[in-house]
A and B are shown apart, each in its own frame.
Chain A
Amino acid sequence: MSKNKELISKIGLRLDGRRADELRRIRCKMGVFAQPDGSAYIEQGLTKVLAAVYGPHQVKNRQKAQHDTCIINTQFSMAVFSTNERKKRPRGDRKSTEMSLHLQQALAAVIETDLYPWSQIDVYVEVLHADGGIYPACVNAATLAIIDAGIPIKEYVCACTATLANNEIPMLDISHQEEVLGGATLTVAALPMSGKIVLMEMSQRFHLDHLPKVLNKALEGCKDIKVILDEAVKNHVAEMGSSTGWANSRT
């Protein structure tokens, strides 16, 4: 684990100058496109993700239709130019399929699926630029897009990564550079308001004793992200509302 030592300097700064518990800058925008029912764009550091939501609409493959809930169909796709080395295919490989499944799992936990029997919601995410923490960015973008589409959800679902630096300090929001250098990466998708975890995934290993603190750090990160997303949604709604006039009636 000698490599891990370089992750955080003696004065507590990371390679990109952040502190251990700091997120990268998050910038987001809802309603980027006109044609989908909901769309969102999010930048977490250099990682950039576009999400689009279509539906709820009639189920495409009629045999799959469910009488009591709606189907959530997700597709994860990465632009061929998103990584440093050019990718051969934008989707269809094992990693993208896994990502799609995980995304679906996270979204199924929050969407009020029983409101839409016999229907389907399509969620498509497109990674434009990959710099670590792709899955969290996708989940956050998809959440915003679903809110933009006006689909009722129980609460925000946010995701965040964390790792253990120097074998003792938990570190938040891992960039690609740190991913390559460092050891284990814990990815958590959670419902920050109720504190529930919908998805937890880890690569490589560290001692079980470290898990609680790293997990707590990741959950804190999810909560921070929730605050940022919440503000973005409120701003967006106020902006949309002000064009119709009702937002101004408060003052």
Chain B
Amino acid sequence: MPLSEAEKTFILHGVDENFRQDGRDREAYRPMELETGTVQHAFGSAHLRLANTDVLVAVKLEIDAPFPETPHEGKLEFFVDCSANATPDFEGRGGEDLAVELANTLASAYQSRQAFDLRKMCILKGKKCWKLYVDILILECGGNLFDATSLAIKAALHNTQIPKIKAVNIDGDNIEIEVSDSVSDCEKINIENAPVLVTLCKIGQHCIVDPSLSEEQCTVGSMVVAATKNCVSTISLLGSGSLHQDTLFQFLDFGCKIANRLNEALMETLANISVTNENVGFLK
């Protein structure tokens, strides 16, 4: 729904007063709900709902051969699917542009070894490795897709159980891998440094986080910062629009600060998440 000029002015004044449309201040996020292990067919999964944004992430594992350039590393692939459930605009191939942009940003955020170590995913140097498929399904768009997705991915990776390798038999060119089939005999992925994406929007003279759909329309420039522990792994401007260098730096500081805070909150939640057999899922 396009906003009128008057509505935009209203939102702008709200941001100026540090009292946004829904009563938040500029640095506050909307409430989030996180649930892990929702998809039974997957090795790890998470379902995150940030106000009206709904994201389902599932991690699947396959055994593959590593790239010849990086024989020591496993593979990681992001696939984003914008479900038409979110908005009729996504019907057919309509959501593809957004999906590609999101997948690209995530791929470059996870590219660095410090952020996510793919060397742990290697089974046999140059021959066999794990390939992680991170499939993201966007079920509803209520603004701030990037942040919600990155948090859900981190939770899904935390939830992922990689089966242990019992034995590797090498017979000439044939390599057979025996994978442990016990559910308890699994390894967890270290996600401590996995980046958190923070979308920052400039509205008027101020910078806000977690924009809602209507706030996204009022922004003059927005940027995504992927950061962990004060180290930035990706920055990227969203949409068209330009920023002054000083604004950019201000965004960077702000983004790092928020990312740290988000990361702490997520890690704490993940540590305390209780394992219940009864999945509430969408029935709640």
Mask, A30-52, CB within 8 Å of B = 1, is: 00111110010101001010111
* Contact status A50-B81, CB under 8 Å: no
Assuming A29-B283, A81-B60, A86-B135, is B42 touching A36 (CB within 8 A)?
A: no
Say whether A83 faces chain B, with CB atoms less than 8 Å apart. Answer: yes
Number of interface residues of B (CB under 8 A): 32
Across the two chains, which residue of chain A brings its CB closest to B134? A81
The majority secondary structure among interface residues of chain A is strand
Query: Which B residues lie within 8 Å of A173 (CB)?
Result: none
List A71-115 residues whose CB lies under 8 Å from chain B.
Answer: 73, 75, 77, 79-84, 86, 90, 92
Complex CA gap A80/B135 in Å reads: 7
Residue in A33, A43, A86 whose CB lies within 8 Å of B85: A33
Say whether A226 faces chain B, with CB atoms less than 8 Å apart. Answer: no
Complex CA gap A15/B83 in Å reads: 34
Say whether A27 faces chain B, with CB atoms less than 8 Å apart. Answer: yes
Query: Which B residues lie within 8 Å of A52 (CB)?
Result: 84-85
Say whether A178 faces chain B, with CB atoms less than 8 Å apart. Answer: no
Complex CA gap A15/B13 in Å reads: 64
Say whether A126 faces chain B, with CB atoms less than 8 Å apart. Answer: yes
Query: Which A residues lie within 8 Å of B35 (CB)?
Result: none
* Contact status B139-A50, CB under 8 Å: yes
Query: Which A residues lie within 8 Å of B86 (CB)?
Result: 35
Query: Which B residues lie within 8 Å of A148 (CB)?
Result: none
* Contact status A33-B39, CB under 8 Å: no
Flag the segment in B51-59, B165-173, B198-206, B222-230 that touches A.
B51-59
Across the two chains, which residue of chain B brings its CB closest to A76? B84
* Contact status A75-B56, CB under 8 Å: no
Assuming A41-B282, A43-B283, is B139 touching A129 (CB within 8 A)?
A: no
Say whether B41 faces chain A, with CB atoms less than 8 Å apart. Answer: yes
* Contact status A81-B42, CB under 8 Å: yes
| Distance of B179 from chain A, by nearest CB (Å) | 15
Residue in A28, A60, A82, A126 whose CB lies within 8 Å of B139: A126
Say whether A54 faces chain B, with CB atoms less than 8 Å apart. Answer: yes
Query: Which A residues lie within 8 Å of B91 (CB)?
Result: 73, 75, 122, 124
Assuming A29-B283, A43-B283, is B85 touching A129 (CB within 8 A)?
A: no
Say whether B88 faces chain A, with CB atoms less than 8 Å apart. Answer: yes
* Contact status B92-A128, CB under 8 Å: no
* Contact status A35-B40, CB under 8 Å: no
Across the two chains, which residue of chain B brings its CB closest to A86? B60
Assuming A29-B283, A84-B41, A126-B83, is B88 touching A79 (CB within 8 A)?
A: no
* Contact status A33-B140, CB under 8 Å: yes
Across the two chains, which residue of chain A brings its CB closest to B53? A35
* Contact status A41-B283, CB under 8 Å: yes
* Contact status A81-B135, CB under 8 Å: yes
* Contact status B88-A129, CB under 8 Å: no
| Distance of B90 from chain A, by nearest CB (Å) | 9
* Contact status A79-B92, CB under 8 Å: no
Mask, A138-162, CB within 8 Å of B = 1, is: 0000000000000000000000000
Complex CA gap A92/B84 in Å reads: 13
Across the two chains, which residue of chain B brings its CB closest to A39? B85
Query: Which A residues lie within 8 Å of B45 (CB)?
Result: 81
List B93-144 residues whose CB lies under 8 Å from chain A.
Answer: 133, 135, 137, 139-142
* Contact status B283-A124, CB under 8 Å: no
Residue in A28, A84, A124 whose CB lies within 8 Å of B83: A124
Say whether B246 faces chain A, with CB atoms less than 8 Å apart. Answer: no
* Contact status A81-B39, CB under 8 Å: yes
Assuming A33-B139, A35-B142, is B52 touching A86 (CB within 8 A)?
A: no
List B33-50 residues whose CB lies under 8 Å from chain A.
Answer: 39-42, 45
Complex CA gap A34/B140 in Å reads: 9
Complex CA gap A126/B281 in Å reads: 15
Can you give 15 A-B contacts (C-beta < 8 A)? A34-B142, A35-B52, A39-B85, A41-B281, A43-B283, A50-B85, A80-B137, A81-B39, A81-B45, A81-B133, A124-B83, A124-B85, A124-B88, A128-B39, A129-B41
Which 4 residue pairs spanning A and B have beta carbons closest together? A81-B58, A52-B85, A41-B282, A124-B84
Apart from A41-B281, A92-B92, what 12 extra A-B contacts exist at CB < 8 Å? A35-B142, A43-B283, A48-B281, A50-B83, A50-B85, A54-B88, A75-B92, A80-B137, A81-B39, A81-B135, A122-B88, A126-B83
Write the residues of chain B forming the contact surface with A, with a CB cutoff of 8 angstroms: 39-42, 45, 52, 54, 56, 58, 60, 62, 79, 81, 83-88, 91-92, 133, 135, 137, 139-142, 281-284
